Structure 1
Amino acid sequence: MLSIIGLIAILTIIILLISNRVTPIVALVLVPIVAAVVAGFGAEEIGEFFKTGLSSVMNVVVMFIFAILYFGVMQDVGLFNPLINFMIKISRGNIIAVAVATVVIAAVAHLDGSGASTFLITIPALLPLYKRLRMSPYLLLLLVGMSASIMNMVPWAGPLGRAGSVIDMDPTALWRPLIPVQLTGLAMLIVLAVLLALREKRRIAKLPPLAEAPVEVEEANEQLASELARPKLLWVNALLTVGIIAMLVKGIVPAGFVFMVGLSIALPLNFRGVDNQMARVKAHAPSALMMASIILAAGSFLGILNGTGMLDALATDLVQILPVAVVPFLHIIIGIFGVPFDLALSTDAYYFALLPIVEQIVTGFGVSSVSAVNALVIGNIIGTFVSPFSPALWLALGLAGLEMGKHIRYSFFIMWMFSIALVLFAVLIGVIGM
């Protein structure tokens, strides 16, 4: 019963997000509460689940608020303008070159295995370029998310660490056979980026010419940009940003604290006086606070569904409804449906509840534990950043000013088909045994 209620709740939230009928806050807060009440939990229990869920995302919320403010200030002072102009120059405004460069930049940025830092590095830098070329920001999020997902197979990232703990195996040993899959995945993604860029070129060609802004409005915008720009402080701001990113990669102190300190340095460095500094904070605060409130709502959603046991029950029951004939291939089947599972299960529920059940079943038919892990990891990992369960994705949406429902509509089937192709390739080369 718990799994049925949980599945209905998750599908309801996904439908509400995709249809844009209500704000994400409404869907993420009210639907889990109704589900918990239907499942027989009282107000006190739901309150405890809420506290647990909130505590799990609080660090992300703090990081999100101060990261948005910091990168907003950096955009104001023109930190990313030289990079954007350079990329336009070398690509000559070539949409295909920009799309391919996005994949490469995101792959390098994700070497630390942190989705949040990858989005923090790539999106603020590349989003203005996409807007200038009239490219869809949803394409940017798709390419960065897929590139980061492929790189997420490294052993110091979350998925292999979780999987290794389940079968009591060193994540590094799990990773080595996956290296050819990673390299092939990146090559496939570059080809996909070219194809999507060609589609984007056709879309842009059909757009009407940009309407020229009235002279007085254009002059006012240029005057504001010139007043905020700090070309003489370019290298100082660049060093400050590089230092922040280095601290994120090292993980010595919490990311939220890093951006809090960075913002505290950036404001007086670039703007004199309390009024000027507060004006910059006020300019970027609405988007930061709006997305922070959504992440808090997502924390409530995760806390309630985890606390009630709905996610664990859903993972357990899903594998019990399949026909007996397909059970020996259960790991491949789950891998093929890994991306849809990302919309129904959190990462922890997938690896700590579903994986042990699948591994136990298929090993009884002679399939190795490593093959079971490989199938579930490869199939699921591509969809990491299309799932409402991913706090890093909410961060990316906030940085780019995008909506979860539109991102799912734009990216889901592309990611799913890509994931299936990667699973089949892994079967073909023997990384996934049968």
Structure 2
Amino acid sequence: MNVTLMAILLIAIVVVTVVTDKVPFNFVLLIVPLIFSLLLGHSLTQTSNFVLQQFASLMQTTGFMLLFAFLYFTMLTESGMFNTIVNALTSHLKMNVIVLMVLTTLIGGFSILTGNFTPAYLITFPILLPLYKKFNFDRGYAFMIAQTAMSAMCFIPWGIGMAYTASAAGLSATALSKASLPWAYCFIPVIILQWIYFGWKHRQKNGTFQVIEQEETAAEVEEEKENSRPQFFWINLIVFIIAMVALGVYSVPPYLVFIIATVFTAMVNYPKDYGKIFGSVGPMYLNILIMLLAINMYQAVFNNTGMVGALSKSLISVVPHPVLHYLHIILLLLCVIIIYFIPFQIFNALYPIFITIGAAFGIPAVAMIAPFVCNLSLATSATPTNSSTYVGCGLLDLEVPEYTKRAVPVMTITNLLVIIIAAMFGVLNLG
């Protein structure tokens, strides 16, 4: 059978599966590539061998790290450490809309250290929502500001976005994280431009940066959560800082850092009932692990049956040389619009092809994929095809279709500006 046609057919099946939503996406990625491998003449044993090698690589570089990262950050969130820090910030500042936007950026960037957008939204938006209402600040603007800050922080090696990207590209999460860090710096001037733009829009609408409505309400007393541990706040914070320093400064293996931090935090905060919290992480980790394994099945077959090479050669022979050279940049520029219509999992499936084409032009694999780590996250909050968008919109009382239509042009321009800044400072590798 023609390998190129089989590769195109496999991609087409994946696209149709997602667009029609008739069959679980994970099932298709786990079963269909296996069938295609057999049709291309690879025995069941051969297929099993390269799939198992891919799975083993996933667990070694990402799987164990994610498990303990989820456990650790779930305990920190449950203990109330993040809420205590955020509440201290908001209660000691003289508030106006400018400060509110800066706080949204800082808290959003801080909260994505949990590694997942859903808990990051759960930390950021419930705390700031009363202030958005008090200042009549557009909650759609708030979502975009928070998402931009979170996207800038997506270079962290334990993040779920990094896990998906590294897994799909067949790269080390740690190596990809180091290559993505310069892109995070390129977000800083764009974030400031967002403050100016959204501040100007707010001033146009309301005529002031101060409180618009200030109704007298009964003092809100936050009900102490069952798992809250305020008495251990300083211990948890010190351990958190040590863990971040070990990861960022001393490059201690992330899985080892999170194992030690998880065990210590569990013994201090939940010596008798840590099993309950561990159990709550199980379903989320299982769902993510199954998705990662499915992506790896797809990747293993795509890489080891000659599909990547065949498809790359076909593109090189058909696509004009200048277009092919900058194909990854063209797709990077358009990624927000593309992800609005197509789930990011399909986009991720193209990374092996990008790497093969980049190699023909002397561009290293990490340099090809690093631009997508942070920038693609701008797209994942502006699409109705991503579940976390619904979480964020629900917390901010926004309608998903209306919000995503507003967000696409803003995030597209944000993405463009980051790319321009990266090109200006030599961060973007043009080959």
Question: What's the TM-score, normalizing by structure 2?
Answer: 0.63
Aligned to 2:358: 355
Pick the aligned partner of 1:147 from 134, 145, 152.
Answer: 152
Asked if 1:66 corresponds to 2:68, the answer is yes
- Counterparts of residues 122-271 of structure 1 (less than 5 Å): 124=119, 127-133=122-128, 142-144=147-149, 146-148=151-153, 185-192=187-194, 222=223, 225=225, 227-250=226-249, 252-271=251-270
1:54 aligns to what? Answer: 55
- Contact 1:46 1:304 survives alignment (8 Å): yes
The equivalent residue for 1:31 is: 32
Gaps of 5+ in 2: 130-138, 166-177, 206-219, 339-343, 381-385, 394-399
Deviation at 1:151, TM superposition (A): 10
The 3 A distance-change label for structure 1 pair 39 and 186 is farther
Please name the residue that 2:309 is paired with. 312
Cα distance per residue 1:289-328 (max 9 Å; x no partner): 22223222222222222222323333332232124xxx34
Contact 1:62–1:256 (Cα < 8 Å) also in 2: yes
CA contact (8 A) 1:244 1:258 kept: yes
The one of 74, 77, 83 aligned to 1:81: 83
Which residue identity is paired with 1:36?
S
Contact 1:67–1:259 (8 Å) recurs in 2:
yes
Deviation track 1:244-283 (CA, whole Å, cap 9, x = no partner) reads: 222222465432232222221112211243xx22222223
TM-score (norm 1): 0.62
Q: Give the 3-state SS of the residue equivalent to 1:44 in structure 2.
A: helix
1:277 to 271, 274, 277: 274
Aligned partner of 1:336 in structure 2 is: 330
State the distance in 2 between where 1:249 and 1:80 align: 20
CA displacement at 1:288 relative to structure 2: 2.3
**Equivalent position amino acid for 1:10 in 2:** I
Alpha carbons 2:86, 2:107 under 8 Å: kept: no
Q: Distance in 1 between matches of 2:119 and 2:86?
A: 11
- Relative to structure 1, the CA distance from residue 92 to residue 48 in structure 2 (aligned partners, 3 Å threshold; closer, same or farther) is farther
Identity %: 18
Deviations 1:369-419 (A, max 9, x none): 89xx99x6797565454899xxxxx9x97xx899xxx9xx89888666654
Structure 2: which amino acid aligns with 1:237? N
- Cα 1:44–1:122, aligned 2, differ >3 Å: closer, same or farther? closer
- 2:55–2:296 contact (8 Å) kept in structure 1: yes
In terms of mean alpha carbon deviation, does 117-126 or 19-28 score higher? 117-126
Preserved CA contact (<8 Å) 1:68 1:288: yes
Match of 2:44 in 1: 43
Report the Cα distance in structure 1 between the residues aligned to 2:350 and 2:146, rounded to whole angstroms: 20
Deviation per CA, 1:29-67, whole angstroms, max 9, x where unpaired? Answer: 123223333433332222122112202210312121221
Counterpart CA distance in 2 for 1:151 and 1:259 is: 13
Structure 1 stretches lacking a partner, 5+ long: 110-116, 160-171, 203-217, 360-368, 389-393
CA gap 1:52/1:189 in 2 versus in 1, 3 angstroms: farther
